[in-house]
Amino acid sequence: MTTRSWVDVPAGSPFPLANLPYGLARRGDQDAHAVMAVGEHAVDLHAAACRGLLPADVPAEVLAQSSLNDLFALGRPVWEGVRRRVAQLLDVHEGELRDDRDAVEQVLVAQADLTLLLPVAVGDYVDFYSSIHHATNLGRILRPDGEPLLANWRHLPVGYHGRAGTLVASGTEVVRPRGLVAGDDGPRWQATDALDFELEVGAIVGVGSELGTRIPAGSVEDHVVGLVLVNDWSARDVQAYEYQPLGPHLGKSFATSLSPWIVTLDALRPHRVPAPPQDPPVASYLRTEQDTAYTIELEVLVQSEQMRREGLEPVCISRNDFSSMYWTIAQQLAHLTVNGASTRPGDLLASGTVSGPVREEAGSLMELTWRGRDPLTLPTGERRGFLADGDRVVLRAWCGQGDERFGFGSVMGTIASAKED
């Protein structure tokens, strides 16, 4: 039943026709263009528009900017329309593009020839804390004598603003940060000893909302274009020392990595599932009629420098499913705007660490090693409580089975040693 394309899509590619995610890429020294992934190629949407291949309601200039913000601001009919049109152009039964050798040469680019960029200019980045398993684990680790979940947790999606200016593209090196950490005689000033990743899924706002208005939970698909993978790098010792009473700051603000491809909610529609039941019942503004959770398989892979030297592939250290999240993206967006806060195209809502109910499904080393107490052993025999210099972390995601299966691609970052004091 799957539609096939005349463009080769290798078995196991994350980018069959059922996906067609949006990205932003540069070919050599050229300007950034909006692109859409298919197999090991990308459709250059600007080139396609200039040849009159895209719907007339998409001005070509929004497809050649330094972000996809202005494209997405045109609204869901446009971002859906472009994707439907590209699916049609790539269909195995459709010759309009395929049979025009000139057009194919301009419009279809090998991904290997592209530099993938941060797809959007993020105005505000809110990081939530929406996995009940993660919040419970953190509560157990940090407050072993208290109730693991604080009183507000089941009543609202707890979140805070992260630093938008340090969102970085996949592949950007992550330099081990320095900071103040707790010591016996007051704080010590040092490179972090507890560098961690966080496996998260981020929602990209396409159409914003005015100051003083709310976005109903049921309208999420009119506002959110799609999802990316987010690695919210964290220095646990810096965070632990600084975070009371106003929340995380320098323990997180040094870098947050985003995957390059925005998988649209349209592509994800077949993978919508009911969210887990919420008890006690939540306030009316947080309720939705339709299914608003997504079943997405997530995985974390690590590869140390020694593994790379020995030719060993990254090894999977955690795997879980996004559908276990207690709070949905629809609820996060409704909550974020319930006080009248405005939103803008390009805003990012990150889920918070995604962890499953058992230890092997945890989305951070903090949980996987229980704050370093139970280190992981890599195939080289190296042990890891937290990340070492040279470690590479790769997050991946997949939806569906068999012929219907597609993926998010990955977000990758490698740890560089701290700079001299």
End-to-end CA distance of the chain: 60
Query: Pick the catalytic residue: 46, 134, 223, 271?
Result: 134
Does 141 interact with a second copy (rule: CB under 8 A)? no
CA dihedral 201, 203, 204, 205 (to 10 degrees): -170
Q: Which sign does the torsion angle of CA 307, 117, 125, 229 carry?
A: negative
Give the nearest distance from C-beta 71 to a second copy in angstroms: 19
* Contact call for residue 2 and a second copy (CB under 8 A): no
Contact flag: residue 132 with a second copy (CB under 8 A): no
Least distance to a second copy, CB of residue 67, Å: 13
Interface with a second copy by CB under 8 A: which range of 249-257, 326-334, 356-364, 368-376?
249-257
- The answer to whether residues 198 and 354 touch, using CB atoms and an 8 Å cutoff, is no
Does position 146 interact with a second copy (CB under 8 A)? The reply is no
**Number of residues this chain uses to bind a second copy (CB under 8 A):** 58
Q: What angle do CA 385, 386, 390 make, to 5 degrees?
A: 125
Tokens of 266: 């349209």
Spatial distance between the Cα atoms of 16 and 7, rounded to a whole number of angstroms:
9
From candidates 98, 108, 124, 296, binder to a second copy by CB under 8 A: 124
By rule CB under 8 A, what string of x and - marks binding of each residue 252-291 to a second copy? -xxx------------------------x--xxx------
Residue 134 bears catalytic tag:
yes
The conformation of residue 382, written as its DSSP 8-state character, comes to: -
From 81-89, 238-246, 325-333, 404-412, give the range in contact with a second copy by CB under 8 A.
238-246
Angle at 317 between CA 197 and CA 248, to 5 degrees: 20
> Rounded to the nearest whole angstrom, what is the least distance from the CB of residue 378 to a second copy in the complex?
27
Q: Which two tokens stand for residue 25?
A: 């890429």
The token duo for 407 is 């993926």
Answer whether 249's CB lies under 8 Å from 242's CB.
Answer: yes
Binding site for a second copy (CB under 8 A): 123-124, 126, 129, 150, 152, 155-156, 158-166, 168, 175, 177-180, 186-187, 189, 211-212, 235, 238, 241-250, 253-255, 280, 283-285, 335-336, 338-344, 347, 419
Catalytic residues: 134
